[in-house]
Structure 1
């Protein structure tokens, strides 16, 4: 897309975002340690019950960083088609997942972590979502605020 193309309206932008959440497999996850050391990693995910469900080893910095505050940012896409999600994440043991969530993760990603004690799931509940492609979409990039879709 170039700047000369028309900006998407809010409804189209929201639908494009929901489509990406259903179809994409990987996100960049940004967290920081209690003393402010940043961490950025790619993780596979599934969009499950209005949340992003990811997984990592329980000792990896991303899981450890979520324990104090639960705050994280994730991004989908590249610099010319961004979805930026801010939310609260929690570390969830596989046995504590809602029925079907572990199966949805395994089915989409062909990677079943259930019964692997070194791994935990991370469930991120979005409270802000922004999406834009070019400068002409910056003004209308906010799609969710305080956990509520604006469109």
Structure 2
């Protein structure tokens, strides 16, 4: 059976779809690498807050350690037929340093709060590049953000 390919979305629609996923999705794949190139890929719960993605993990986990050392990560939402790929700069923030707004919103979204647990840290991911596509017919217009600025 041959599957029908949906027509490509306009860039503005893709941006709306990405922003909806950032608001509504619960988890993202987080890819980091150690300074010597050892990769780490894990799913983490996230919050989209004032243009950044906020997550939490143990401060000693490879994701936090790699992010602290390199300041970079790649995030992915969706599946292979509806990809959102986000290249980011990332800061690792001690639990006591996360803003009340971020911590409260994260806890409300996920019914889970790691504040007050010093072995945990928050990660704040700032998108630098965002690409989104579904099928091959959307590859040409997949870049929606470059250098932290929306292109649409």
Unaligned runs of 5+ in 1: none
Distance 2:42 2:8 in 1: 30
Tell me the TM-score normalized by structure 1.
0.96
- Partner-residue secondary structure (3-state), 2:17: helix
Question: How far is the alpha carbon of 1:3 from its aligned partner?
Answer: 5.4
User: Residue 3 of structure 1 contacts residue 136 of structure 1 at CA under 8 Å; is this kept in 2?
Assistant: no
* Other-structure match for 1:103: 104
Question: How far is the alpha carbon of 1:109 from its aligned partner?
Answer: 0.6
Question: How far is the alpha carbon of 1:93 from its aligned partner?
Answer: 1.2
Written as runs of structure 1 = structure 2, the 5 A alignment for 1:61-72 is 61-72=62-73
Deviations 1:59-112 (A, max 9, x none): 100000011221100000000000000010010112212231100000001101
* Other-structure match for 2:135: 134
- Partner-residue secondary structure (3-state), 2:68: helix
Distance 1:3 1:64 in 2: 44
- Partner-residue secondary structure (3-state), 1:139: helix
- Partner-residue secondary structure (3-state), 2:47: strand
* Other-structure match for 1:124: 125
* Other-structure match for 1:34: 35
Written as runs of structure 1 = structure 2, the 5 A alignment for 1:16-95 is 16-95=17-96
CA RMSD across the alignment: 0.9
Question: How far is the alpha carbon of 1:35 from its aligned partner?
Answer: 1.2
Unaligned runs of 5+ in 2: none
Distance 1:26 1:114 in 2: 19
Question: How far is the alpha carbon of 1:7 from its aligned partner?
Answer: 0.4
User: Residue 58 of structure 1 contacts residue 120 of structure 1 at CA under 8 Å; is this kept in 2?
Assistant: yes
Distance 2:67 2:124 in 1: 10
